[in-house]
Amino acid sequence: MKIIDIIIATILVIGGLNWGLVGLFDFDLVKAVLGPGACPRIVYMIVGLSAAYSLVFCKAIVSRWSLK
């Protein structure tokens, strides 16, 4: 499960950086790389699902990564 946590965290960082670019410079890197259409929308859904996973399983993630 730790590998899933790492993948989810990576997706969230990429999504956060993209939204930072949108907020600061009005530049959407996902659309610039993937072009218009369904692909950017799928990426946004994956980022949203990653955020939901992190929120719902927050306690489990913390317990998996704790140094006990």
pTM: 0.86
All residues at 6 or more sequence positions from 34 whose CB lies less than 8 Å from its CB, including other chains? 40, 43
pLDDT digits (tens, 9 = 90+) for 25-55: 999 999 999 999 999 999 999 999 999 999 9
Residue 67 pLDDT > 80, yes or no?
no
What's the CA gap between 65 and 62, in Å, rounded?
A: 5
- Reported as a pLDDT band with limits 50, 70 and 90, residue 6 is very high
What's the CA gap between 64 and 24, in Å, rounded?
A: 35
So what's the pLDDT on residue 19?
96
CA torsion, ordered 27, 28, 29, 31, to nearest 10 deg: -130
Count of domains in the chain? Answer: 1
Residues spanned by the domain of 25: 2-65
Residue 68 pLDDT > 80, yes or no?
no
